[in-house]
């Protein structure tokens, strides 16, 4: 499978996606402005999430652990347009790497370099904010969900007093309150002392981070990114050790969903090699011997960062040719 084919939708439908995203952002900002920060946060995000969690708990027979899993999957499905857009933007950025590295090498003047980079983005129809905005929206939703879980998962009396102020006046919602805290080997309101859940959080975060990493343009960036690839899972393991297990369950399910979403976008180009750590590289001083086309194809099909190295040295003509073909196809 060609690596460039799945990236086409991000380039082909920028207007619709931008419009949707801008509408959502304007809607959120407008609501926060009109209603006030606290009221809008509670009314539009927190309370619906809390009540949805309670509703799902009743639907699955009072099993709160199952409700968290179901809720996470549903939430990720609802926000999948943003997730896919983010992944496709990442993918498009990856495809641009060889040309961006050429720009980096060719222009020493920062202003000119930036102009050329922007020109490149424009030419390829890539919005550099395409990764950031969906992430920002998801982050907002996830922080609200986290706070919602704090009310519902905790299972402590104080949080239930707070919960009473947020439950909609529909008696069905409170049928399972206080919620059943036992799920599998976990007590959802308490940290997992078996370390199994923190480990799952760490592994799934590592896999998810590796698969959705934005390509680095410089060795420094690559180094930073690699550090993040390790640091993020470790930090989350540490945090999960002190958080109620319900939050960890949410995080693992969310990561697994992200991995599937990545597979959907990257398709066959994803191999187990994507999960291997890459060593930070320095820009080659001497051009490497040109790889035969079949070797080059193989390298492109493997880990994205490794592919970038090969292409940055030798893939210029071939990449441009592919872009031309794609435009013709459009």
Residues near other proteins (CB under 8 A) are 138-139, 142-143, 146-147, 150-151, 154, 156-159, 161-162, 164-165, 169, 171, 174-175, 177-178, 235-236, 239-240, 243-244, 247, 251
What is the tally of helices (H) and strands (E) in the chain? 15, 2
Q: Given the complex with other proteins, which of 232 and 301 has the nearer CB atom?
A: 232
Per-residue burial over 255-284, b = 16 or more CB atoms within 10 Å of its CB, e = otherwise: bbbbbebbeebbeebbeeebeeebebeeee
Q: Given the complex with other proteins, which of 146 and 264 has the nearer CB atom?
A: 146
In angstroms, what CA-CA distances link 289 with 73, 270, 319? Answer: 48, 26, 18
- Name the one residue in this structure whose structure tokens are 């931008």: 18
Q: Given the complex with other proteins, which of 237 and 303 has the nearer CB atom?
A: 237
Q: Are 207 and 256 in contact (CB under 8 A)?
A: no
Shortest distance (Å) from residue 194 CB to other proteins:
17
Shortest distance (Å) from residue 201 CB to other proteins:
8
Q: Given the complex with other proteins, which of 215 and 248 has the nearer CB atom?
A: 248
CA triple 61-65-66, angle to 5 deg: 55
Shortest distance (Å) from residue 86 CB to other proteins:
13
What would the DSSP string read from start to end of 201-254? HHHHHHHHHHHTPPPPSSHHHHHHHHHHHHHHHHHHHHHHTTS-HHHHHHHHHH
Shortest distance (Å) from residue 181 CB to other proteins:
9
Shortest distance (Å) from residue 244 CB to other proteins:
6
Q: Given the complex with other proteins, which of 94 and 240 has the nearer CB atom?
A: 240
Q: Given the complex with other proteins, which of 102 and 180 has the nearer CB atom?
A: 180
Alpha-carbon span 85 to 12, nearest angstrom: 12
Shortest distance (Å) from residue 162 CB to other proteins:
8
């Amino acid at each position: 499978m060609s690596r460039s084919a799945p990236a086409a939708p991000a380039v082909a439908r920028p207007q619709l996606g931008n419009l949707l995203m801008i509408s959502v952002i304007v809607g959120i900002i407008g609501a926060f402005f009109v209603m006030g920060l606290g009221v809008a946060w509670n009314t539009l995000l927190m309370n619906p999430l809390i009540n949805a969690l309670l509703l799902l708990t009743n639907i699955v027979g009072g099993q709160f652990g199952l409700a968290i899993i179901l809720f996470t999957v549903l939430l990720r499905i609802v926000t999948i347009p943003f997730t896919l857009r983010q992944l496709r933007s990442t993918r498009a950025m990856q495809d641009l790497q060889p040309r961006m590295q050429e720009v980096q090498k060719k222009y020493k003047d920062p202003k000119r370099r930036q102009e050329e980079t922007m020109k490149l983005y424009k030419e390829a129809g890539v919005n550099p904010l395409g990764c950031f905005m969906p992430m920002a929206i998801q982050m907002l939703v996830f922080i609200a969900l986290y706070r919602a879980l704090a009310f519902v998962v905790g299972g402590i009396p104080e949080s239930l007093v707070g919960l009473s102020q947020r439950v909609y006046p529909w008696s069905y919602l409170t049928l399972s309150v206080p919620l059943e805290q036992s799920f599998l080997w976990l007590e959802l309101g308490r940290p997992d002392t078996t370390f199994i859940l923190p480990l799952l959080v760490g592994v799934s975060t590592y896999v998810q981070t590796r698969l959705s990493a934005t390509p680095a343009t410089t060795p420094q960036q690559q180094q930073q990114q690699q550090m993040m690839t390790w640091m993020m899972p470790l930090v989350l393991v540490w945090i999960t050790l002190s958080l109620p297990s319900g939050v960890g369950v949410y995080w693992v399910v969310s990561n697994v969903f992200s991995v599937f979403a990545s597979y959907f976008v990257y398709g066959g180009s994803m191999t187990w090699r994507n999960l291997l750590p890459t060593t930070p590289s320095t820009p080659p001083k001497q051009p490497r011997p040109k790889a035969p086309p079949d070797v080059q194809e193989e390298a492109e099909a493997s880990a994205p960062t490794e592919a970038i190295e090969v292409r940055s040295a030798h893939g210029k003509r071939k990449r441009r040719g592919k872009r031309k073909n794609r435009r013709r196809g459009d």
